[in-house]
């Protein structure tokens, strides 16, 4: 199922749950305050882990959390400008995979001035854009009735490369699982045991015979492509020798570090326990960071000094968003409210801010809300 449909389904379920329970989307742990004319939302930063957090010193704590209503933060363009999408209610909805959906437009948004700048024309429905490491290009999926197109744009909105996936061409791949390999190339998992590589110069190539993937997720380092197989193995496929090598067993998810020398993996250790483990590219374990019921949403800071992640725990007071300082292996608990983030955690270029978006219910309607978590 297309991830947009999953997102729409989750929103519908959220509405049903809230209506049936008669509860507000806001919790008692959330406090909104005004500072210098800005609305700031502070979420549950006082936790049972406060003593551990204090041991890290004043240089590692949550300074503030800013909330921006009505926009969906997607990625960072600069330290003060983010990439957002926003529903355009002035245009008629369109059919996307047999569902009526509002067109979602792409903008840059200045966090200080609140200025929005349209990047692509308003009739274009763009979904899940991601920014290249050098912040010069954007990869996104464009929706049209019965057709999906992967686009590489420059930051002014000029289309550099387009690749279509629809019934007519027979191309089947997960556009919304694309990842930047470097500043110029994107890797996109294919439905027939392969990947597509597309770049800013409109070069498109396909690598077949890689193997079946458990998740629509693959990364490329040098001549090797890494993915999790249906056997829950982290596999390295050598594009020169065409050979597959299992480098780690019992892997549920993984995230490649910015320096491309380390994987953070969610390792299954029992029926209901997982570990967060760091391994090198050959599968050798470097550190076991923690154990929990479920670990997900892994996100490295650009300087590779910190790792953000979400956990669910048998103790609900410990479920939520954490940030770990990898040098000390100490964790900072942010809030349980971010368990329901949509689209992942995105770090700012300075490694001092985290972007997260949550669909929240207001007046019986799901509203996009963006949060910027600033760390000291």
What pLDDT is attached to residue 15? 40
Helix extents (H) in the chain = 3-21, 50-55
For the chain, the maximum distance between any two Cα atoms, rounded to a whole number of angstroms, is: 60
Most confident of 22-26, 191-195, 301-305, 337-341: 301-305
Q: Bridge partners of 139?
A: 130, 152
**Pick the residue with more confidence: 37 or 98?**
98
Average pLDDT, stretch 25-31? Answer: 39
- Distance, in Å, from the CA atom of 243 to the CA atom of 102, rounded to the nearest integer, reads 44
Q: What is the mean pLDDT of the chain?
A: 84
- What is the mean pLDDT of the segment spanning 193-201? 92
- pLDDT for res 85: 95
Q: Which residue has the tokens 């067109």?
A: 103
Using CA atoms, how far apart are residues 73 and 195, in angstroms rounded to an integer? 27
Asked if residue 225 has pLDDT above 60, the reply is yes
The dihedrals phi and psi of 134, each to the nearest 5 degrees, come to: -90, 5
The pLDDT assigned to 4 comes to 44
DSSP for residue 14 = H
Distance CA 335, CA 42 (A): 9
**pLDDT of 97 above 80:** no
What is the pLDDT at residue 59? Answer: 67
Taking a C-beta distance cutoff of 8 angstroms, is the pair 358, 341 a contact?
Answer: yes
Q: Identify the residue whose tokens are 């780690």.
A: 248
- Residue 14 predicted with pLDDT over 60: no
Q: What is the pLDDT, as a whole number, of residue 300? A: 98
State the average pLDDT over residues 113-138: 93
| pLDDT at residue 293 in the model | 94
**All residues at 6 or more sequence positions from 298 whose CB lies less than 8 Å from its CB, including other chains:** 253, 254, 255, 264, 266, 276, 307, 308, 309
pLDDT tens for 248-305 read: 999 999 999 999 999 999 999 998 899 999 999 999 999 999 999 999 999 999 999 9
CA-based nearest residue to 372, from 341, 327, 332 = 341
Per-residue pLDDT at 8: 43
Place of tokens 């997260």: 356
Quote the pLDDT of residue 153. 96
pLDDT band of 177, cuts 50, 70, 90:
confident
DSSP string, 55-114: HT-TTSSEEEEEEEET-EEEEESSSSEEEEEEEETTSPPEEETTEEE-EEEEEEEETTT-
Give the pLDDT confidence score for residue 146 in this predicted structure. 73
pLDDT digits (tens, 9 = 90+) for 317-339: 889 999 999 999 999 999 999 99
Q: Which pLDDT belongs to residue 40? A: 39
Taking residues 348-355, what's their average pLDDT?
98
The predicted structure's pLDDT at residue 39: 42
The pLDDT score that the predictor gives to residue 173 is 64
From 24-28, 72-76, 129-133, the region with the lowest mean pLDDT: 24-28
- For 252, 293, 319, the CA distances from 315, given in Å and listed in that order, are 22, 10, 7
Report residue 61 as tokens.
């704590």
pLDDT at 47: 36
Q: Give me the pLDDT at residue 172, please.
A: 59
Residue 174: what pLDDT? 73
Does residue 3 have a pLDDT over 50? no
Residue 167's pLDDT is: 44
Average confidence (pLDDT) over 351-358: 97
Grade residue 43 by pLDDT with cuts at 50, 70 and 90.
very low
3-state helix, strand, coil in the chain (%, to 5): 10, 55, 35
| Long-range own/partner contacts, residues 355-361 (CB < 8 A, 24 or more apart) | 355/73, 355/75, 355/76, 355/82, 356/73, 356/321, 357/72, 357/73, 357/74, 359/10, 359/11, 359/14, 360/25, 360/26, 361/14, 361/15, 361/18, 361/24, 361/25
């Amino acid at each position: 199922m297309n991830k947009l449909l999953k997102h729409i389904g989750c929103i519908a379920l959220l509405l049903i749950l809230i209506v049936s329970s008669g509860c507000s989307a806001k919790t008692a742990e959330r406090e909104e305050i005004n500072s210098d004319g800005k609305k700031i939302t502070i979420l549950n930063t006082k936790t049972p882990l406060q003593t551990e957090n204090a041991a890290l010193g004043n240089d590692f704590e949550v300074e503030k959390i800013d909330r921006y209503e009505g926009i969906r933060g997607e990625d960072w363009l600069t330290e003060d400008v983010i990439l957002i999408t926003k529903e355009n209610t002035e245009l008629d909805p369109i059919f996307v995979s047999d569902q009526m959906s509002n067109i979602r437009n792409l903008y840059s948004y200045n966090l200080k001035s609140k200025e929005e700048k349209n990047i692509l024309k308003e009739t274009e429905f763009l979904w899940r854009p991601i920014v290249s490491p050098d912040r010069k290009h954007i990869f996104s999926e464009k929706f049209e009735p019965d057709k999906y197109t992967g686009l590489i744009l420059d930051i002014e909105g000029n289309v550099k490369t387009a690749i279509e996936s629809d019934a007519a061409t027979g191309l089947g791949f997960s556009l919304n699982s694309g990842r930047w390999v470097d500043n110029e190339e994107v890797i996109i998992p294919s439905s027939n045991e392969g990947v597509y590589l597309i770049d800013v110069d409109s070069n498109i190539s396909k690598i077949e015979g890689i193997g079946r993937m458990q998740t629509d997720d693959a990364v490329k380092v040098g001549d090797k492509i890494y993915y999790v197989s249906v056997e829950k193995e982290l596999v390295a496929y050598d594009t020169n020798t065409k050979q597959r090598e299992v480098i780690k067993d019992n892997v549920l998810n993984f995230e490649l570090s910015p320096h491309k020398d380390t994987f953070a993996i969610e390792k299954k250790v029992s029926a209901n326990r997982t570990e967060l483990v760091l391994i090198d590219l050959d599968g050798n374990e470097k550190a076991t960071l923690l154990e929990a019921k479920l670990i997900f949403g892994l996100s490295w800071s650009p300087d590779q000094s910190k790792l953000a992640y979400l956990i669910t725990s048998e103790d609900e007071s410990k479920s939520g968003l954490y940030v770990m300082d990898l040098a000390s292996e100490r964790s900072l608990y942010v809030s349980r409210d971010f368990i329901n983030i949509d689209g992942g955690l995105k770090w700012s270029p300075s490694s001092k801010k985290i972007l997260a978006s949550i669909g929240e219910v207001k007046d019986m309607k799901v509203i996009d809300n963006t949060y910027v978590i600033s760390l000291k």
